[in-house]
A and B are shown apart, each in its own frame.
Chain A
Amino acid sequence: MLGIGFGLVTAAIVALSTVALSLQFSVTRTINFAHGELMTVGAYAGYLVAQHTSNLVPQALAAVAAGAVLGWVLNWGLLRPFSRRGASKIVLFVLTIATALIVQNLLQVGFGGSFVDYHYSVGLAHHVGPFLWTTLNIVTMVTAAVILISLHLMIRRTRFGKAQRAVADDLMLARTTGIAAERIISFTWVLDGGIAGLAGMFLALQVGSFTPTLGFGYLLVIFAAAIVGGIGKMYGAMVGSLIIGIVMEVSAIYINPSYKETMAFLVLVVVLLFRPQGIVPALSEG
C-alpha cells in the first residue's frame, strides 16, 4: 500500500509531463528530446523563487513560466525556422537533442554541476484511506488532477482545443480550412513547456535535491509512459503514466529502488511485445 501510495504521487508527476509531451507530439509531430529540460528549467525556477519565499504558489508560477518560455523559444527560434526551410523531422529531432545538451550546459554554468537542495516544509503526514501522504504529496496529486481535467475540457470543448485536434489530424486540411496552424502549434509548445516545467518542480521537490540532468534522467521514463499509453494519445498517456508510476514505486519497495527505471522499461518491453500500438485502443483521441 505504501508503494502504491508513492506510486500514485510519481504517477501524477509523470502523467503531467507525459500528457504535455503527448499533446505536443500529436499536434507538432516532432519528437522533442529536450522535453526533460523543460522540466529541469521549471525545477530551477521554482528553486530560485524558494530562496525568497516558502510559498509554493509563486514557485509554481515561476516553474510554469520558465518551461513555457523554453518551449516557446525552442519552437520559435529553432524548429519553426528550420521546418519553414523544409528541414525533415529527423533534422528537427537532432536539433532538439542539441537543445537538450545546450540547456544542460547553461544550467551547469549557472548553478554548477552539484546537487542543490529543494524542499517544501513537509508538515505532518496524512492518512488518506490506506495511504500515508505528506501535504506536498497531496498538493502534487490534486494539482495534477486539476490540470489533466482542465486539459481534457480544453481539448474537447474549446475552439483552441478543437483546432489543436484538427491540426493533429491533418495539418494541410487544417490550413486550407483556415485554421492558423502556426499559431496553434506555437501555443501548444507554450502549454507543453508550462506543464512540463511544473512537473519538473514537483519532481525536484519530491526527490529533494537535483542537478542540471534532473529532467534528462526522467526523459526515458516519460517516453516509456507515452509509448505504453500509445504514442500521441493523451488519454493513453495518463494510463501509461499511472502504470509506469505505480510499477516503479512498488518495485522500489519490494525489489530494490535502483531497479525502478529498469522496471519501467520492462513494462515498456512487455507492452511493445504484445500491444505495439499502446494499451489504450484508438478511441476518439485528442
Chain B
Amino acid sequence: MSREGGDGIGSTSAMSARVVGNPALAVAEPVVDGPTLSADCLTIGYGGTPVVREVSVRARPGQLTAIVGPNGAGKSTLLKGMAGVLRCSSGRTLLGDDDVTNLTPERLIRLGISYVPQVSNVFASLTVRENLEMGAYIVRANSKQRIEELCSMFPDLKSSLHRPARTLSGGQRMMLALARGLMVQPKVLLLDEPTAGLAPMVVEAVWEHVLAIKASGPAVLVVEQNTRRSLRDADWGYVLTNGRNNLEGPGPELLADKDLVRLYIGG
C-alpha cells in the first residue's frame, strides 16, 4: 500500500488508530439522550483514488467532537460524505441505530443531520431573514418564532435581517451559517472550520457559540484548523492524516501527546 510521502504521524503504518487516554471514559453515558452519529470505515473520494480511507468517527449528543489534521488530510471530504454531499464508496454511517449511509442531503437534514460547509455556507443573494427562512424550509411552521430565538442567540444578525448575505462580514456570515444550520434544531451538527479566516476576536465569539450549541444538546462534530483550541474543548478528538484515522482520544489528553503537539501545534 503506497502513501504520499512521510509526514511524521501519517506515515506510521498503523491500520487502526492509536488511542490515548482511557477509552472507557469515552463510552461514558452521554448527558443528553439524542442519537449518536457514527461513521464506520468510510471511504470517500472524488472519482479517482479515494481521499478518505476507512475512517471511523463517532459524535455523541451533548459532546463536542473535533477532527484535526494537516491541510489536505481529508477532513472536509469526510464531513461531505457524512452530509450526503459526496457518495461513500464503502463503509456505513449510522444515526443511532439507523443506517443513513449515502442518503441524499435532503433526507439527512430531515433526519436531523445539519451541515455547515466551510465555504459558500450562506445564500449570498438572499437576505439574512430569507437565509433563516430557507434554513427552516423543512419545518414550515414556527419559523418566525425560531428566527426570534436565533436572533437573541446571535444579536449581530438581528440588525441585519434585511441585508443580503453577500454584504455581511466574514464573522457575520459564519454566525448566519450557524444560525441557518440551527433553524431545524438538529440532532447532529456538522461544522467545517467555523473559525477559518476570521479576525481573532470574532474567532472567540464564534467558538463560544459552538460550545453553547453543544451544551444545548446536539452532537457537534467540528473540523478545526486551530488544533490547540479545539482539542482543549473537545470531549473527544480525532487526528486524521492522509485520509486515515491516526490518533484519537479525549481532546485535552491528545493535547498532552508530545508527537501530536510537536507535529501540528508546535511549542
A residues lining the B interface (CB < 8 Å): 159, 162-163, 165-166, 168-170, 172-181, 284-286
Closest Cβ of chain A: how far from B178's Cβ, in Å? 13
- Residues of B within 8 Å of A175, CB to CB, are 84, 104-106
How far is B130's CA from A286's CA once the two chains are assembled, in angstroms? Answer: 13
The 12 sampled A-B contact pairs (Cβ below 8 Å) are: A159-B137, A163-B134, A165-B126, A165-B130, A168-B125, A170-B123, A172-B105, A173-B123, A175-B84, A176-B105, A177-B180, A284-B127
* Contact, CB under 8 Å: A162 / B130: yes
B109 CB contact (under 8 Å) in A163, A178, A181: A178
- Residues of B within 8 Å of A166, CB to CB, are 123, 126, 130, 134
* Contact, CB under 8 Å: A178 / B125: no
Chain A residue with minimal CB distance to B47?
Answer: A86
* Contact, CB under 8 Å: A162 / B134: yes
- Residues of A within 8 Å of B104, CB to CB, are 175
* Contact, CB under 8 Å: A178 / B121: no
Closest Cβ of chain B: how far from A207's Cβ, in Å? 37
* Contact, CB under 8 Å: A174 / B83: no
Indicate whether B164 reaches chain A with its CB closer than 8 angstroms. yes
0/1 interface trace, chain B 132-148, chain A, CB 8 Å (1 if under): 01110110100000000
How far is B122's CA from A163's CA once the two chains are assembled, in angstroms? Answer: 13
Given contacts A165-B126, A170-B120, contact A177 B137 (CB under 8 A): yes
A176 CB contact (under 8 Å) in B115, B126, B140: B115
Indicate whether B110 reaches chain A with its CB closer than 8 angstroms. yes
B125 CB contact (under 8 Å) in A177, A180, A285: A285
* Contact, CB under 8 Å: B117 / A174: no
0/1 interface trace, chain B 76-106, chain A, CB 8 Å (1 if under): 0000000111000000000000000000111
Could you list 6 further interchain pairs (A-B, Cβ under 8 angstroms) beyond the known A163-B137, A166-B126, A173-B123?
A: A159-B133, A168-B125, A178-B105, A178-B137, A179-B134, A181-B106
* Contact, CB under 8 Å: B125 / A179: no
How far is B105's CA from A177's CA once the two chains are assembled, in angstroms? Answer: 8
Indicate whether B20 reaches chain A with its CB closer than 8 angstroms. no
- Residues of A within 8 Å of B126, CB to CB, are 162, 165-166, 169
Closest Cβ of chain A: how far from B110's Cβ, in Å? 6
Of the listed residues B85, B126, B140, the one surrounded by the most CB atoms of chain A closer than 10 A to its CB is: B126
- Residues of B within 8 Å of A168, CB to CB, are 125
**What's the dominant secondary structure at chain A's contact region?**
helix
How far is B140's CA from A162's CA once the two chains are assembled, in angstroms? Answer: 13
- Residues of A within 8 Å of B140, CB to CB, are 159
- Residues of A within 8 Å of B164, CB to CB, are 284
Indicate whether B31 reaches chain A with its CB closer than 8 angstroms. no
Indicate whether B19 reaches chain A with its CB closer than 8 angstroms. no
A173 CB contact (under 8 Å) in B110, B120, B130: B120
Closest Cβ of chain A: how far from B137's Cβ, in Å? 5
* Contact, CB under 8 Å: B85 / A176: yes
Given contacts A165-B126, A169-B124, contact A177 B84 (CB under 8 A): no
0/1 interface trace, chain B 106-122, chain A, CB 8 Å (1 if under): 10111000010100111
How far is B60's CA from A29's CA once the two chains are assembled, in angstroms? Answer: 39
B residues 193-217 near A (Cβ < 8 Å) are: none
Given contacts A159-B133, A174-B134, A176-B83, contact A165 B123 (CB under 8 A): yes
How far is B106's CA from A180's CA once the two chains are assembled, in angstroms? Answer: 7
- Residues of B within 8 Å of A179, CB to CB, are 106, 134, 137
Q: Which 9 A-B pairs have the closest CB atoms?
A: A178-B138, A178-B109, A176-B105, A175-B105, A169-B123, A166-B123, A176-B115, A178-B137, A166-B134
- Residues of A within 8 Å of B83, CB to CB, are 176
Indicate whether B184 reaches chain A with its CB closer than 8 angstroms. yes
- Residues of B within 8 Å of A180, CB to CB, are 106
* Contact, CB under 8 Å: B134 / A284: no
How far is B106's CA from A176's CA once the two chains are assembled, in angstroms? Answer: 6
- Residues of B within 8 Å of A284, CB to CB, are 125, 127, 164
How far is B164's CA from A90's CA once the two chains are assembled, in angstroms? Answer: 32
Of the listed residues B117, B122, B137, the one surrounded by the most CB atoms of chain A closer than 10 A to its CB is: B137
- Residues of A within 8 Å of B184, CB to CB, are 178
Chain A residue with minimal CB distance to B163?
Answer: A284
- Residues of A within 8 Å of B130, CB to CB, are 162, 165-166
* Contact, CB under 8 Å: A177 / B109: yes
How far is B190's CA from A176's CA once the two chains are assembled, in angstroms? Answer: 11
- Residues of A within 8 Å of B108, CB to CB, are 176
Closest Cβ of chain B: how far from A104's Cβ, in Å? 36
How far is B140's CA from A285's CA once the two chains are assembled, in angstroms? Answer: 24
Chain A residue with minimal CB distance to B131?
Answer: A166
Closest Cβ of chain B: how far from A265's Cβ, in Å? 30
